[in-house]
């Protein structure tokens, strides 16, 4: 589960970077178009820099998933990191969708993004629970 969550995060990170070649279309498809337009009015590089920053965060999340699955060296604060990543994804998936339903602004794109967030959050949560339950029973 943690490996799949890690790989999905790395794919998302790479997709963000590749998407910058078609930035306007990517921002519109993901629902970030208006916000990115406002940021571009401050300085034209801000949407690109923000996207790269977000891509780095996804990549780090991916590394934590792979580290917890022992595919790469152990990263610091691994247990805390895995459950924090799970919380972030689950909060994003549930919180944003609840907000959009209350506001009456739900779109298909937002529903899909929330479902993906819930899936990845569940992979990290249940993968982490399984990993550390197994370890605690060995001790």
Counting every residue, how long is the chain? 139
pLDDT tens profile 29-58: 888 888 899 999 999 999 999 999 999 999
pLDDT of residue 139: 58
Tell me whether residue 138 is exposed, middle or buried, using C-beta atoms within 10 angstroms of its C-beta: 0 to 12, 13 to 18, 19 or more: exposed
List the structure tokens of 103. 């506001």
- pLDDT value of position 110: 87
Kindly report the number of other CB atoms within 10 A of residue 65's CB atom.
Answer: 29
User: What confidence score (pLDDT) does residue 107 get?
Assistant: 84
CA-atom Rg of the chain in angstroms: 17
pTM beyond 0.85, yes or no: yes
Alpha-carbon gap, residue 129 to 38, rounded angstroms: 41
Q: Which residue numbers in the chain have pLDDT < 70?
A: 137-139
């Amino acid at each position: 589960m943690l490996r799949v969550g890690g790989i999905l995060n790395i794919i998302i990170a790479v997709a963000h970077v590749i998407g910058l070649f078609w930035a306007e279309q990517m921002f519109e498809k993901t629902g970030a178009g208006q916000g990115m337009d406002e940021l571009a009015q401050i300085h034209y590089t801000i949407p690109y820099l923000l996207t790269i920053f977000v891509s780095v965060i996804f990549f780090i999340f991916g590394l934590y998933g792979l580290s917890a699955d022992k595919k790469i060296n152990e990263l610091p604060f691994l247990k805390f990191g895995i459950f924090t990543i799970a919380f972030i994804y689950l909060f994003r998936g549930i919180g944003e969708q609840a907000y959009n339903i209350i506001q009456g602004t739900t779109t298909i794109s937002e529903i899909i993004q929330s479902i993906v967030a819930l899936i990845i959050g569940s992979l990290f949560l249940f993968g982490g629970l399984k990993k550390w339950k197994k370890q605690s029973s060995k001790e």
